[in-house]
Structure 1
Amino acid sequence: MARSRNIKPGFFSNEHLAELDFATRLLFIGMWTEADREGRLEDRPRRLKMALFPADNVDINRMLDDLDHLGFIKRYTVGDVKAIQVINWSKHQNPHVKEAKSTIPEMPDLEGSSCESGASTVQAPDSHGSFPADSLSLDSGFLIPDSLNPSPAPVDSAELFARFWKLYPRKVGKDKAEKAWAKLKLTADLLDTIVTALAKHRQLPGWTKDNGQFIPHAATWLNGKRWEDEVETPTDNVHHLPNSRHHGFADRDYTAGLTRREDGTYAL
């Protein structure tokens, strides 16, 4: 008898499930609806095919082996009963409290699974969890977040400081600057903001005159979060050539002192 089960977006971003073909991933979902309240079902490939893939030419036995190999299920035998246990079942599903108890024998010594001795795979009778169970969107041991956004890559603060120090125009007080840098909760976005702001500050008159002696120490700039300052880049920062007698060629009268001929040309 098929049951209603949970599925969340994290299932589709599982990198281990992605190694399996589309039909095997679909089989895995279908197996939840065939499993009992303990996450167990009989290991009967032909019956699963008729229940889940009645019109498709698929190799259920191979697909089950693939799921077993990656740790999403465990195929086992107790006496004459061949069975399947969905790993970490209780972490992902909230079976209804009125579902019938499992009649399939528990797999002994299933290390790391929800079937460890004394561990229940369902809620206590007549009780309800505070939160819905997470979907089966994990490998054998750790949950994949619902969000499809990957976790941010770790930031190498020392390497990024070296980049900042190379850009900062006043090379004074490096040790203090490194300590100030270490206090920052650095992210890729913050680094971009700092670098962009630094480029604007470097154009300020106070930073460009007198060989940069008025540029603050890097530690001061960082501790003061000066990258948050509103800075207007000088617009009149183009070097102008001094006045020269060689200017104004277009305004000169080149016919002065000359006599115009009948053909329109000029002569002395």
Structure 2
Amino acid sequence: MARSRNIKPGFFSNEDLADLDFAARLLFIGMWTEADREGRLEDRPKRLKMALFPADNIDIDGMLDALELKGFIRRYETSGVKAIQVVNWSKHQNPHVKEAASTIPAEGQHQPVQGEHGESTGQAPGENSSFPADSLSLDSLNLIPDSLTPSSESPEDLFDRFWKLYPRKVGKANAQKAWAKLKVHSALFDRMAAALAAWSVSADWTKDGGQFIPHPATWLNGKRWEDELPVPANVHHLPTSRHHGFAERDYTAGLIPREDGTYAF
């Protein structure tokens, strides 16, 4: 069962994640909603695909290997159970105190770790933790600070991050000129990165091998991070109601007017 988790804008600026395919980055986010309160989930690629990418033809198993190679997850098997552990989960995530205890064995153990009265040993909100309960702090992934924290990164450093994120790497010199005109700061960069993450999985950018992705300079000059995403083609709108147009109807059509202003059949 999926759980509610939080994500900070800095996630989209992680340099190690930026090296991965956009689908692998989205998979990593989705895995948090599938993981239990200890950051564990079953290592079942087909099930993950059906839960997170039911309409996409992608290699979940390969993306899991890539995430493990970068150190974001560990894939292991114990007591005949294939499982995944999100690295440093218990240090940086405070699940809800009423969330069910984990039933997946930890790596190297033969049964789930249980505390007194069968409760999970994961931290309850506010217990021995310096992180707020409503935040998934991913400092262990070397994420940049969120936009409320002053950043020491120069515009050139931010451009390098943008260039790694942008899926169509053409016209770099023109993109750098456009970047310089914008005077990008960390808060603006976070908005750009969030927009790129959304557009990178949109139908407009993924169809026909990505040939309709605009050049980076075009995207920057047009401030395209402010564009609204198109409605997916597979989203069914509510049918048009038959109960409309009353004001435009002629209710006297076919009737015989009388001298007193009334009508007869």
Q: Normalising by structure 2, what TM-score?
A: 0.48
**Which structure would you say has the larger Rg?**
1
Q: Normalising by structure 1, what TM-score?
A: 0.47
When you count helix as a share of all residues, which structure comes out higher? Answer: 2
